[in-house]
Amino acid sequence: MRHMKATKNIERRSFLKTTLLASGGILFGVNYASAISNEATLFDADEKLNFHDFNAFIKIATNGKVTIYSPNPEIGQGVKTSMPMLIAEELDVAWGDVIVEQAKLDTEKYQRQLAGGSQSIRKAWKPLRKSGATARQMLLEAAAIEWKIPKESLFTKEGYVYRSDGKKISYGKLVEVAAKLEVPSNVILKKPKDFTIIGKGKGNMDIDNITTGKPIYGIDYKVDNMLYAAVVRPPAFGQKLLSFDASESMKLKGVVSVFEFDNNIAVVANNTWTAFSAKKMVQAKWSSDGAIDGTSEMDQKMHQLLAGESFKNWKTSDDVVAANEEAEFVLEEIYESPFLPHNCMEPMNFFANVTDAKVELVGPIQTPEGSRKNVANKLGRKISDISVEMTRMGGGFGRRLNGDFVVDAAVISNKLRKPVKLVYTREDDMTGGVYKPCVKYKIKAGIKNNEVVSYHLKEAAVNWTMYRHNASNFPFGAISNYQVDVAKIQNDITVGFWRAPVSNFLAFAEQSFFDELSRKLEVDPIKQRLKMLAAVNRKTNYSVQRFSNVIKQVAKDANWGKTQKNRFQGFSAYYSHSTYVAEIVEIEMIDDLPVVKKVFCAVDCGVVVNPTGAENQVVGGIIDGLGHSLFGELEFEKGKPKVNNYDRYRLIRMNETPKVYCSFIESDEDPTGLGEPTLPPVSAALANAIYAASGKRLRKLPFIKDWELNIS
């Protein structure tokens, strides 16, 4: 197949192609990648399009039904609803006539076909709308030809083109003519005030499948003659497999094979339960080169790091050392957070079918492209041999960015040359690695004349440091003498992205510290924050006005400072993954423990594409964040996780859940994401409320340990 490189001057052609379908109707092939990338690779222009050529597309049938293929993986963040809404809006069709299907991985046609970092909507905002608008222009043109009147006198609404005399014709009747037209290059997008779909709450596209139990998740995937695999992994990080005895396992009826691969043992059977049962019967011997750290050893090393000098500098402005020397007093505190497993409700799993001709991969993955590359490298296969189909995911939270289990499934299938579904037990899922890293922050600030004059943040982490750009967030810009330094220790525990990477704990440390500073200064924390924002005099990555607005909004919503008796509030605000968030947590103390009663939240994410989905993300992020700050912790002993299932790993439950109230700031700004933003601020808002209620300052997560407050 011949390929050519796209350049700007052929964008018109690369952006959208049309073809008639044998079944009737038209296919608008949308290359939305080319709208945002000058380097997109295209098929030869003369090549006939079919379903496999373009996966991102709009299909209009002659009966007017519209199918929109949603490019990005769905992990519960709602893109399978919200991304098609962008196309449907500009195409001007009735939402009820739209069918949404998940597109397969196709790097030729898409860019950034992944779920992570709350970026899907932000990056697709203009390209996807443009695709809808282009198709609409062609339908208008087709109507003008049909009626032999100027296009300018026509308008569209809900899947029809109208004449000024009220006569209308459906898109379905126009598609055959439209398909033969030149694709327009410059289309005008709607103004936000004219939106009829964007900004109106739309339900989850998969709702009926979910409430009737249809097999839409990866773990539900099944083909004829498929085998089921479970994997025995080292009990502790850093251990090596010495030998194993599977003779007992092989006696179980239905066990097909037990073999070693990559320091693991694969147990393959003809159903899941047999694979799980046989896995338990494998006798394996493991060893390590030396002592492996547990939580207490790691804690000690991180404290030594914080006290030492071996930091890498991420950001410096002016001179924190000199400012501290001149300060009337300095405040210095350490904040600590543990490792966290992701605990997606759907345990990790993947389907692989490796044959001489091809490699089929199907399952729940946030990074289909990267995982395909890893499988290609591991098996020594060509990328073009490998197909990836994305299923709906039972949660991602960052765990499914790491496709280790995809490679494992492929290796097992490759060995047996049979279709195999690899399934983790919950214990595998919780102890198999890739955790939010354990991190500690030391923050030091100087105060002079009732002003914060310096701010120095030091990070010590296990196997991970914050991104350089995190160091440019608030309070950079508000405090002139500012410095961020990072350091890490390294060991064999695997770490990775966890919902709201870095900010999930950085926000806790900083937002708790600001509360402490306000108490020191004897100023209301919200007044102090607004004052600091008003003092910003440098170019910052955040807008002072939008940041201040969410803070004022939440203070109003929560009736800040005027709670009923025995209720106490805590405040926190964060510029969070490109979205502005301010939160107030309201608690009561019962038997010396916090009971969260209400949470107020104000959000500025620009245009709210789908208010229903947006509310779900905002409220869910807050409750998830509360749960993890109250209870979440994975400790280690000699490299081995101390707990492995929900009997001893506590997740928040409904009877512990407060009511969350959220306000969205009305805005015409381009939208930003919502999957992560509301989680980071909430832990500090809770800690600050606990301080207000009890005078106890919690600087270590989780807040509750052994049924008591966890005071460091």
Partner 1 sequence: MEKFRLKINKKKYQVEVDAATPLLWVLRDELNLMGTKFGCGIGQCGACTVHLNGSPTRSCLLPVAAVAGSEITTIEGLSKENDHPIQKAWKALDVPQCGYCQAGQIMTASALLEENKAPSRDEVREAMQGNICRCAAYNKIEEAVLLAADENKLNS
Element (H, E) at 619: helix 611-631
| Nearer residue to partner 1 within complex by CB, 210 or 291 | 210
CA distance 683 to 348: 27
CA dist list (Å): 345 to 211, 279, 403, 426, 458: 16, 21, 17, 9, 34
Q: Is the dihedral of CA 619, 620, 621, 623 positive or negative?
A: positive
| Nearer residue to partner 1 within complex by CB, 164 or 212 | 212
User: How far apart are CB 611 and partner 1 at their closest, in Å?
Assistant: 10
Would you count residue 332 as binding partner 1 (CB under 8 A)?
no
User: How far apart are CB 603 and partner 1 at their closest, in Å?
Assistant: 16
8 A C-beta contact, residue 665 and residue 573: no
Would you count residue 257 as binding partner 1 (CB under 8 A)?
no
- Cα 697 to chain centroid distance, Å, stands at 31
8 A C-beta contact, residue 344 and residue 77: no
Would you count residue 595 as binding partner 1 (CB under 8 A)?
no
CA distance 79 to 204: 9
**Cα–Cα nearest to 116, from 468, 389, 365, 407:** 365
Site string for partner 1, 31-70 (x = CB under 8 A): ----------------------------------------
Would you count residue 564 as binding partner 1 (CB under 8 A)?
no
Task: Give me the phi and psi of 298, to 5 degrees please.
Answer: -65, -40
DSSP letter at 677 equals T
Burial class (CB in 10 A: 0-12, 13-18, 19+), 549: middle
Which of 389, 489, 620, 705 forms a contact with partner 1 (CB under 8 A)?
A: 620
User: How far apart are CB 75 and partner 1 at their closest, in Å?
Assistant: 6
**Cα–Cα nearest to 241, from 258, 259, 263:** 263
CA distance 63 to 99: 13
User: How far apart are CB 617 and partner 1 at their closest, in Å?
Assistant: 7
Site string for partner 1, 236-255 (x = CB under 8 A): -----------------x--
Would you count residue 204 as binding partner 1 (CB under 8 A)?
yes
Would you count residue 654 as binding partner 1 (CB under 8 A)?
yes
Would you count residue 217 as binding partner 1 (CB under 8 A)?
yes
| Residues within window 272-291 making contact with partner 1, judged by CB under 8 A | 272-274, 276-277
Task: Give me the phi and psi of 362, to 5 degrees please.
Answer: -140, 135
8 A C-beta contact, residue 687 and residue 579: no
User: How far apart are CB 426 and partner 1 at their closest, in Å?
Assistant: 4
| Residues within window 77-106 making contact with partner 1, judged by CB under 8 A | 77-78
| Residues within window 345-364 making contact with partner 1, judged by CB under 8 A | 345-347
CB-based contacts of 127: which residues, under 8 Å, 6+ apart?
32, 33, 35, 36
Would you count residue 612 as binding partner 1 (CB under 8 A)?
yes
CB-based contacts of 493: which residues, under 8 Å, 6+ apart?
237, 339, 433, 435, 462, 463, 636, 639
Which of 617, 629, 683, 688 forms a contact with partner 1 (CB under 8 A)?
A: 617
461: left (phi over 0), alpha (psi -120 to 50) or beta: beta
| Nearer residue to partner 1 within complex by CB, 335 or 435 | 435
| Nearer residue to partner 1 within complex by CB, 253 or 562 | 253
Which of 271, 304, 355, 559 forms a contact with partner 1 (CB under 8 A)?
A: 271
Tokens of 322: 């000199």
Would you count residue 657 as binding partner 1 (CB under 8 A)?
yes
Which of 213, 290, 380, 695 forms a contact with partner 1 (CB under 8 A)?
A: 213
User: How far apart are CB 129 and partner 1 at their closest, in Å?
Assistant: 23
Q: Which stretch binds partner 1 (CB under 8 A): 181-189, 394-402, 512-520, 557-565?
A: 394-402
Q: At which residue do the structure tokens 């103390």 appear?
A: 589
Which of 9, 23, 564, 655 forms a contact with partner 1 (CB under 8 A)?
A: 655
User: How far apart are CB 627 and partner 1 at their closest, in Å?
Assistant: 7
User: Letter for the amino acid at 206?
Assistant: D
User: How far apart are CB 215 and partner 1 at their closest, in Å?
Assistant: 4
User: How far apart are CB 394 and partner 1 at their closest, in Å?
Assistant: 3
Interface residues with partner 1 (CB under 8 A)?
A: 75-78, 201, 203-204, 206-208, 210-215, 217, 219-220, 222, 228, 253, 271-274, 276-277, 343-347, 392-397, 423, 425-426, 612-613, 616-617, 619-624, 627, 645-647, 651-657, 659-660
